[in-house]
Structure 1
């Protein structure tokens, strides 16, 4: 049956979901090859870059909130690791807030290439990729949690949040857990956009430049990444129960 085939595809894609950015690498190369400033204006280019940061960090904020409100026993790289069904906090707004966050992060990064075609290809690729992953996850969670999951899924949107459904979690927000889980993604956004900025300017001007503003942005991101990594691995300041 088609549904069973989609579930199997979803289970396979879930195991390899971290490689989606690599699959889209040719798209990035194509976009940089034909890069042009929006409306041939460096000012418009800067304004668009600000908008791209806003979109990407909207996604990061969503993920940050998910991680910070996630109680112990609910987070893991595989659905099988979940011991408790998450239905409060961000999971009261939609069933897949992490993937919603991923979507906005990726959209912000690909919009940076200033190509409507590339952004459209990203959106379609994301949907085809994650709809199968979601179907596989939901099939597993329905088997594991049964009627509890079915009732929650019936009243909770798939991925577009319904803000009026917000249910405050019983546990307080954990900045430590959120920072531990998202600091690498924070730096990845900055690093990718810095790379695209340098590559785009090179295509337009023919010169390899690293202007002052981007040096500050990249330097801040790198310093934050290294500081959090040190605190995570060499101190107990960011220790949390899993």
Structure 2
């Protein structure tokens, strides 16, 4: 099979499972965390590194939220079986990088990996991410090129695939849709809010024999859980509203 067809076939398969790569790293992260340098000998350095790691993940979350919130309808979704794009996004984060959602994913997971302070795990994660997402981005761009033709080529020629060119920033054309952001990114918020405090618990227990952590981690955990609950309620209400609208539409025929 020619490489282009092989890349497209494997990329389509990986596209369906693209949300699950970070979970493969959880056992490795736990192992690395349990080998973390003694907390009691460098408590201030440990806390500063933890905040830095969390900040990296929050930057990734911001990239995702901004991208999703300003994306046109019918684009930048969580579809898994087929490629979908009703229009071509070229403003906002799409003006500086062609795959901002994957950049956001990379940063979110990188922050979690950084918390382990394990050089081998950080390098391994970067390599695995590159191999995994390269073909996914490849197959997405084939789809966009076939659908949008010259418009896609003009955008792709001036916009890097993964490393942002910030000087090209152009404000988003669509106004931000906050309810859409909350519904779409509640899982990402929950992952960050659950993972960081849990790993902190594990670190303290392994190093000190207790699970006492800074108050800020409890605040993060509570905020993430609350956001996730709000998003679930919003999704349920939206489904009910759409169902009610369908009933009214059928009755009006």
**TM-score normalised by length of structure 1:** 0.89
1:10-36 C-alpha deviation (Å, 9 max, x unpaired): 111111112212222331232133222
Q: Residues 217 and 74 of structure 1: is their aligned pair in 2 closer, same or farther, counting only changes over 3 Å?
A: closer
Task: Say whether the 8 Å CA contact 1:31–1:113 is kept in structure 2.
Answer: yes
- The question of whether the paired residues in 2 share the 8 Å contact of 1:142 and 1:150 is answered with yes
Secondary structure of 2:83 counterpart = helix
Which is further off, 134-143 or 214-223?
214-223
Unaligned runs of 5+ in 2: 243-253
Matches within 5 A, 1:131-150: 131-150=134-153
Higher Rg: 2
Judge conservation of contact 2:70–2:174 (CA < 8 Å) in 1: yes
- Between the two proteins, the alignment pairs up a number of residues equal to 238
**Residue 217 (structure 2) pairs with residue 214 (structure 1):** yes
Distance 2:188 2:32 in 1: 22
Distance 1:14 1:149, change over 3 A: same
2:95, 2:170 within 8 Å by CA — same for their partners in 1?
yes
Q: For the Cα contact (< 8 Å) 1:38–1:114, is it kept in 2?
A: no
CA distance in 2, matches of 1:39, 1:114: 16
Q: Over aligned residues, Cα RMSD in angstroms?
A: 2.2
Structure 2: how far apart are the matches of 1:38 and 1:157? 40
Tell me by how many angstroms 1:210 deviates. Answer: 5.2
Q: TM-score, normalised by structure 2?
A: 0.86
Which residue in the other structure is 1:190 paired with? 193
How far did residue 85 of structure 1 move? 1.3
Partner of 2:230: 227
Paired position in structure 1 for 2:54: 53
